[in-house]
Amino acid sequence: MNPPLRIEAAGDSHVGRQREHNEDSFAVDLDLGLFIVADGIGGAAGGEIASRMAVDIVQSCCKDSEGEITQPTGYDDLTGPLELRLVSSIWRANERIFEVGQRDPRFYGMGTTFAGVYADANAACIAHVGDSRVYRYRERRLERLTEDHSLWNEHLHSGELLPDDVDPLLARNVVTRALGMGKTVDVATRLEQPQAGDLLLICSDGLSGPVSEAEIAEALAQGDDLAATARSLIDLANRHGGPDNVTCVLVRWTPAA
């Protein structure tokens, strides 16, 4: 029998070196086992509002354990409760963000990426929309657990070449899915069984864009203090020019004893 595990976590966010406003939002909720990074889209106040709405609505829905779970399309009765509640909560957040954008011209077109982990001591459901990422650091090896929903990545996987008039650098930053883009959203999920020592990194593209995965792995290997490690990752992104808002959430499973 595997020994019981406990979860510890920390997160931090910074506006970066080249932006005036931080449109990222995050949550670290150890009581719920819920950890989120959302990167707002839409400029002005729209992106900031969308990312904050996503975090608040999903957190509220997951907290309401007695609340009704909307059975997501394509999910059956064998789907676990962590995945059902997380996906249902994300769908609700998407609907609310889309409604606000349609109703208020100031926020038309606002949206947000979403990367979240809903976990207990024995299981973790990872859900994401857009290009915010989840990595796992296990036995000194960094593995990306999410695939970016970006124009570049979708062309890469389809085998199609980008049109000649599309800048490849721009294509990497154009998301093809986000909360608030439409009435419905396709949420990518995966289930993981944590092992003692596993460390998950949830981050916005303000980290994964300017900082290489090798540098991220090196930073994760340096220390045991999660709050200090989150700050060091943000410092690393800012040393690379800080082109965007940068947010990191770290979640680690350790033996309960």
Give the pLDDT of residue 171: 46
pLDDT per residue as tens digits for the range 27-64: 999 999 999 999 999 866 799 999 999 999 999 999 98
Give the pLDDT of residue 19: 92
The token duo for 15 is 């506006």
Q: Distances in Å between the alpha carbon of 67 and those of 86, 92, 155?
A: 13, 12, 40
The pLDDT > 90 percentage for the chain reads 73
Beta strand residue intervals within 42-138, DSSP E: 111-112, 114-119, 124-129, 133-138
Task: DSSP letter for 179, please.
Answer: B
pLDDT at 160 over 80: no
Q: How far is CA 46 from the centre of its chain?
A: 18
Q: Are 256 and 196 in contact (CB under 8 A)?
A: no
pLDDT at 87 over 90: yes
Superfamily in which the 5-255 domain is placed by CATH: PPM-type phosphatase domain (3.60.40.10)
pLDDT at 240 over 50: yes
Give the pLDDT of residue 3: 73
| Contacts with 200 (C-beta within 8 Å, 6 or more apart), sequence order | 35, 117, 124, 126, 134, 135, 136, 137, 145, 250, 251, 252
Higher pLDDT, 152 or 241: 241
What residues does 24 pair with on adjacent strands? 39
Q: How confident is the model at residue 66 (pLDDT cuts 50, 70, 90)?
A: low
pLDDT at 155 over 60: no
Instruction: Tell me how far apart the alpha carbons of residues 202 and 9 are, in angstroms, rounded to a whole number.
Output: 11
Give the pLDDT of residue 45: 72
Give the pLDDT of residue 169: 52
pTM (2 d.p.): 0.91
Average pLDDT over residues 198-220: 97
Q: 92-106, 139-153, 194-208 — which is least confidently predicted?
A: 139-153
SS3 of 248, please? Answer: strand
Q: How confident is the model at residue 89 (pLDDT cuts 50, 70, 90)?
A: very high
pLDDT at 100 over 90: yes
Give the pLDDT of residue 78: 52
